[in-house]
Amino acid sequence: METNHPNYGLTEIQEDSAEEVHFVNPLPRAVLRHTRFALLDGEWKFSLDNEDQGLANKWYLAHTYQHTAHWPGAVESHMAEAKDSHPSSSWHDKVIVWYEREFSFHATIEESIHSMLQITFGACGYETRVWLNGLPLQTIDGEEIHYGEYTSFSYELNQEMLRPVNRLTVRIADTMDAEIPRGKQESHVYKRGGIWYQTYTGAVRSIWLETVERNRLRSRVGVISIIEDKLVQFNLTTRIHDPGCYTLRLKVYERSRKSTEPLATSDFPLRLEVGQKRQRVAIEVPGAELWSPESPHLYRLVAQLIDPSGYAAEIETLFGLRKIESRSSKIYLNHTPVYLDGILYQPGTATYEEMQRHMQAMKELGCNLVRIHITGVDPRIYNLADEMGMLLWVEVPSPHSSSQVSRQNHRTELLRMLTLIETHPSIIIWSLYNEDWGAQDIAINPETRQYIMDMYHYMQIHHPQFLVVDNDGWHHVSSEGRLKSDLLTAHLYTPDLDRWKQLLDRLVAGEMEGVAAFPLVVGDPFFYRKQKPLLVSEWGGFGFVDYGGPNDAESRTEQIRLFKQELRKRPIAGDVYTQAINIEDERNGIIDAHTGELQVPANVLSSKDIQL
pLDDT tens-digit series, residues 280-306: 999 999 999 999 999 999 999 999 999
The string of pLDDT tens digits covering residues 368-422 is 999 999 998 999 999 999 999 999 999 999 999 999 999 999 999 999 999 999 9
Task: Output the pLDDT for position 280.
Answer: 97
pLDDT at position 4 over 90: no
d(Cα 438, Cα 604) in Å, to the nearest integer?
Answer: 34
What is the CA angle 292-571-493, rounded to 5? Answer: 95
Please enumerate in sequence order all residues whose Cβ is within 8 A of that of 499, keeping only pairs 6 or more positions apart, or say none. Answer: none
pLDDT bin (cut points 50, 70, 90) of residue 545 is: low
Across 96-111, average pLDDT: 78
**Phi, psi dihedrals of residue 164, rounded to the nearest 5°:** -55, -40
Q: How many whole angstroms from its chain centre is CA 96?
A: 25
d(Cα 522, Cα 513) in Å, to the nearest integer?
Answer: 11
d(Cα 365, Cα 606) in Å, to the nearest integer?
Answer: 7
d(Cα 562, Cα 306) in Å, to the nearest integer?
Answer: 60
d(Cα 410, Cα 454) in Å, to the nearest integer?
Answer: 13
Work out the widest C-alpha separation in the chain, in whole angstroms: 73
pLDDT at position 5 over 50: no
Residues paired with 301 in a beta bridge: 252, 317
d(Cα 416, Cα 204) in Å, to the nearest integer?
Answer: 17
70, burial (CB in 10 Å: exposed 0-12, middle 13-18, buried 19+): middle
d(Cα 588, Cα 548) in Å, to the nearest integer?
Answer: 12
- CB 111 within 8 Å of CB 180: no
The string of pLDDT tens digits covering residues 132-172 is 999 999 999 999 999 999 999 999 998 888 999 999 999 99
Task: Output the pLDDT for position 11.
Answer: 40
Please enumerate in sequence order all residues whose Cβ is within 8 A of that of 458, keeping only pairs 6 or more positions apart, or say none. Answer: none
Q: Measured between alpha carbons, how far is residue 487 from residues 335, 478, 500, 534 in Å?
A: 17, 12, 21, 6
pLDDT at position 108 over 50: no
% the chain with pLDDT above 90: 82
Q: Measured between alpha carbons, how far is residue 404 from residues 174, 340, 409 in Å?
A: 20, 35, 9
d(Cα 362, Cα 600) in Å, to the nearest integer?
Answer: 11
Alpha helix segments (H runs only) across 137-234: none
Across 241-270, average pLDDT: 95
**Phi, psi dihedrals of residue 135, rounded to the nearest 5°:** -100, 135
d(Cα 344, Cα 578) in Å, to the nearest integer?
Answer: 5
Across 449-466, average pLDDT: 98
Neighbours of 13 (CB within 10 A): 13
Across 462-468, average pLDDT: 97
d(Cα 503, Cα 515) in Å, to the nearest integer?
Answer: 6
d(Cα 343, Cα 116) in Å, to the nearest integer?
Answer: 44
Q: How many whole angstroms from its chain centre is CA 265?
A: 30
- Quick one: which of 379, 462, 383 has its CA closest to 426? 383
d(Cα 53, Cα 333) in Å, to the nearest integer?
Answer: 55
Mean pLDDT of the chain: 92
Q: Measured between alpha carbons, how far is residue 440 from residues 12, 29, 513, 601 in Å?
A: 48, 34, 18, 39
Task: Output the pLDDT for position 208.
Answer: 96
SS3 label, residue 38: strand
Task: Output the pLDDT for position 594.
Answer: 96
d(Cα 474, Cα 515) in Å, to the nearest integer?
Answer: 9
Task: Output the pLDDT for position 22.
Answer: 58
- Parallel/antiparallel/unpaired status of strands 340-345 and 336-337: unpaired
- Cite the beta strand spans of 415-487 per DSSP E: 427-434, 467-472, 476-479, 482-483
Task: Output the pLDDT for position 200.
Answer: 86
Q: Measured between alpha carbons, how far is residue 293 from residues 286, 299, 368, 390, 422 in Å?
A: 22, 15, 7, 6, 18
Task: Output the pLDDT for position 8.
Answer: 32
Across 434-454, average pLDDT: 98
- Cite the beta strand spans of 204-311 per DSSP E: 207-213, 216-226, 231-240, 244-254, 264-272, 275-284, 299-306
Q: How many helices and strands (H and E) does the chain possess?
A: 7, 36
d(Cα 43, Cα 37) in Å, to the nearest integer?
Answer: 18
Q: How many CA atoms, within 13 angstroms, populate the side-chain half-sphere of residue 524? A: 9
Across 33-42, average pLDDT: 91
pLDDT at position 106 over 80: no
Q: Backbone dihedral region of 110: left (phi > 0), alpha (psi from -120 to 50 degrees) or beta?
A: beta
pLDDT bin (cut points 50, 70, 90) of residue 198 is: confident
With residue 180 as reference, give the H or E element that holds it: none
pLDDT at position 612 over 70: no
The string of pLDDT tens digits covering residues 306-327 is 999 999 999 999 999 999 999 9
Rg (CA), the chain: 25
Across 89-109, average pLDDT: 81
Amino acid identity of residue 251, one-letter, is: K
Determine the straight-line distance between the first and last CA of the chain, rounded to whole angstroms: 45
Please enumerate in sequence order all residues whose Cβ is within 8 A of that of 261, keeping only pairs 6 or more positions apart, or say none. Answer: 253
